[in-house]
Amino acid sequence: MAMMQSSKYAAYPVVDISDRTWPDKRITRAPVWCSIDLRDGNQALPVPMSVQEKIEMFKLLIGIGFKEIEVGFPSASAVEFQFVRTLIEENLIPDDVTIQVLTQAREHLIRRTFESLEGANRAIVHLYNSTSTVQRDVVFRKNRQEIKEIAIRGTALVRELREAFGNKGIRFQYSPESFTGTELEYALEVCQAVMETWGASADEKVIVNLPSTVEMSTPNIFADRIEWFCRNLSDRDAAIISVHTHNDRGTAVASAELAMMAGADRVEGALFGNGERCGNLDIITMALNMYTQGVDSRLDFSNLTHLTEVYRECTRMPVHPRHPYAGELVHTAFSGSHQDAINKGMKARTESENEVWCVPYLPIDPKDVGFSYKAIVRINSQSGKGGVAYVMEKEFGYSLPKWLQPDFGLVVQAIVDREGRELSPEEIRDLFSREYVRLERPYLLKKCHISWEDEDPDRNDEVATTITSALQEGEREFGFTARGNGPVDAFVTGFIHDSGIDFIVSEYSEHAIGHGADTQAIAYVKITLPDGTVSYGAGIDSNISLASIKAVMSAVNRLDTQAKK
């Protein structure tokens, strides 16, 4: 096998910042969020969104709570230009939302960008030019001073056009594109020149956006770069430091989180991380990471199911079933040990007065993001008795006693092993009914009458219950009348006498299922024969005594079923 040649790659340079402070910081507040779904996300789509699809996405982003939204690159195409005009002319931009438009630092593109903003009350003009070493040397073939001059001239023109527009609602953002591929000192030099050209101040801040256009280092080094930049910027109060992380190394979220700890004020990203190559920062993940730490992200992701549907329709992109928080399987456990822990954790939460969420394997309450508890536990060949019991209780109200759970778990396991697939909750319920409830052979209970003759109701051991039953075994019909200290005791006494099958009821449990007029009782029993053989049964009836007797009959009939197996 051919070996990969790692020697063709060089390690990313570290930052000389021995007294870094970001490792001791915590994220305690939300950044200024800027959605780039309609620009960076859109340009990465195999089929870019139409104007109508972009409008639908724009409305979704507003509903989530974004106050800054990059809506496009209006000088790049007629569709991009028309979309910006549609937003403005049809008054689709709320008063508290600022649109952002991107432009290269080229005169005709900047002028066209301003034409698209005619009539906008609030907007950010986002100017960029690439400053990286490889772009300077290979793409533009310009030296440091020439590249810096491009940024300065572009900034001066944006300032001039804003003054000509007389619109103080237009703000300015500058990005040294490929910041991660740019010498740190040089990136600072260019951004400093841009701020001076603009006349940045504490009253009129420039957004300095530092993009990892290509993610090239571990998140800690990116954080070092952000902290170094913030420290060395001559007028830090005149800048809003923004980050725009990509996911080439799979750590865009971590890089943005550490950048915030290092001093960043603002974060750009997209829903589900949609973007070039491996994508941008996923704002959903980062915002919900904050939420699970008790920090208000100021974004509303309480209905991820709806959000996912709109995203898929507008972008034609799938959402991975294991995507953090939003994937259809991320709140689901198939593993038996996980299911058992979740089952116990959910019960403990119901019984506890502690409001802090703490359930094993569930870092977030699925209901907080629009998922029901229905999908938490699903049953396949990896599942266990705890998961089966959870499904039966949450879906159908059957609270299986612990002594029954292992037996039913084996029944379910045998089916999934044989069929090699997941079982739906309805299939599990039907399997339980078939295995434990609807057993009418070899013994069929045809009639049962219960009467009481309590002389002392306070005595629990009084033989005061009379059972009169009619049964059928094959072609033979028989019946009995027996007495006991309760319906089950009386029935068992009479049945043993007439059938010759000797057993005791060694475990018993009951509860109600349903509500109101539909309420029924379910009883579970375990019977034990003298030789140690055990069998389980369940019975359902509107009368708890009859449910209990039906459960005994099911357990007896199951002895015959088990023997045939």
Annotated binding residues, written as ranges, equal 40, 244, 246, 280
Q: Is 10 exposed, middle or buried (0-12, 13-18, 19+ CB in 10 A)?
A: exposed
Alpha carbon distance 144, 163 (integer Å) = 29
Round to the nearest angstrom and report the end-to-end CA distance of the chain: 52
Q: Residue 125: phi, psi to the nearest 5? A: -90, 120
- Strand pairing of 68-72 and 32-35? parallel
Alpha carbon distance 168, 160 (integer Å) = 12
302: CB partners within 8 A, 6+ apart: 368, 369, 370
Residue 253 vs residues 215, 259, 366, 432, 552: alpha-carbon distances, Å: 11, 10, 21, 45, 58
What tokens appear for 412 in the block?
């379910």
Could you tell me the sign of the dihedral formed by the alpha carbons of 211, 216, 217, 218, in that order?
Answer: positive
Burial 278-297 (b: 16+ CB within 10 A, else e): ebbbbbbbbbbbbbeeeeeb
Q: Which residues are annotated as a binding site for Mg(2+)?
A: 40, 244, 246, 280
Residue where the block lists tokens 């001239």: 153
Contact between 159 and 199 (Cβ < 8 Å): yes
Burial 129-148 (b: 16+ CB within 10 A, else e): bbbbeebbeeeeeeeeeebb
3-state secondary structure of 447: strand
Q: List the one residue out of 336, 338, 333 whose CA is nearest residue 377.
A: 333
Alpha carbon distance 330, 361 (integer Å) = 10
3-state secondary structure 69-86: EEEECCCCCHHHHHHHHH
353: CB partners within 8 A, 6+ apart: none
Alpha carbon distance 423, 429 (integer Å) = 10
